[in-house]
Amino acid sequence: MRYRLLVLIFIAVWGLLIVRLYHISIKSNYYYEKLAKENIERKSYLKPVRGEIFDSKDNYLAVNKLGFSVSIAPHLQNRGNELSSVVSELKSYFPDINETVMYRVYKKMSSPYNHKYIKVIDFISYSDMMRYYPKLIADPRIKIDTETKRYYPFGGYAAHIVGYVGRSNRKENRADKVVDIVGKTGKSGLELYYNRVLEGELGYVLSKVNARNQELEVLERKEPVSNRNIKLFLDMDLQRYIFKILEKRAAVVIVMRVTGEILAAVSNPSFNPNLFVGGISVKDWRALQNNLGHPFTNKFINAVYPPGSIIKMGVALATSREGKGILDEHEYCKGFIRIDKSRHKFRCWAQWGHGEVDLRKSIRESCDVYYYEKSLKVGIDKISKTLHDIGLGVRSGVDLPREYRGIIPNKAWKKRRYNLPWYKGETVICAIGQGYDNVTPLQVARYTAFLATGRLPVPRFAREIAGKKVKMSSRKINFNPVHMAIIREGMHDVCNDRRGTAYKTMSRLPIDVAGKTGTAQVVSIPQDVKKRVKEKDLAYFKKSHAWITTYAPYKKPEYVVTVLMEHGGHGGSSAGPIAAKIYRWLYYNGYFKNHPLEEVREELKRLKDIKEAQELGLDINESVEVR
Q: Which residues are catalytic?
A: 309
- Do residues 507 and 575 make contact, with C-beta atoms less than 8 angstroms apart? no
H or E segment and range at residue 371 = helix 368-378
- What burial class does residue 80 get, using C-beta atoms within 10 Å of its C-beta: 0-12 exposed, 13-18 middle, 19+ buried? exposed
DSSP codes, 390-451: TTSSS----SSSS----B---HHHHHHHH-----HHHHHHHTTT-TT-BB-HHHHHHHHHHH
- Do residues 475 and 456 make contact, with C-beta atoms less than 8 angstroms apart? yes
CA distances to 24, 27, 36, 311 from 30, rounded to whole Å, are 10, 6, 10, 65
Give dist(CA 517, CA 365) in Å, integer.
Answer: 10
Give the per-residue SS3 of 538-597. Answer: CCHHHCCEEEEEEEECCCCCCEEEEEEECCCCCHHHHHHHHHHHHHHHHHHCCCCCCCCH
What crossing angle do the helices spanning 380-389 and 312-320 adopt, rounded to 10°?
110
Among 392, 456, 402, 466, CA closest to 199: 466
Q: What's the one-letter identity of residue 571?
A: G
For residue 309, the 8-state DSSP code is: G
Q: How many helices (H) and strands (E) does the chain have?
A: 26, 23
Give dist(CA 477, CA 34) in Å, integer.
Answer: 60
Give dist(CA 442, CA 493) in Å, integer.
Answer: 24
- Do residues 145 and 30 make contact, with C-beta atoms less than 8 angstroms apart? no
Cα 567 → chain centroid: 22
Positive or negative CA dihedral for 177, 178, 183, 189?
A: negative
Among 149, 95, 97, CA closest to 274: 149
Among 569, 574, 518, 551, CA closest to 315: 518
Alpha carbons within 13 A on the beta-carbon side of 68? 17
Taking every pair of Cα atoms in the chain, the longest distance, rounded to a whole number of angstroms, is 117
Give dist(CA 310, CA 333) in Å, integer.
Answer: 19
Alpha carbons within 13 A on the beta-carbon side of 244? 13
Among 557, 563, 79, CA closest to 308: 563
Q: CA angle, corner 152, sides to 149 and 153, nearest 5?
A: 120
- For the beta carbon of residue 117, count every other beta carbon within 10 angstroms: 18
Is the bond preceding residue 307 a cis peptide, omega within 30 degrees? Answer: no
Among 167, 147, 184, CA closest to 69: 147
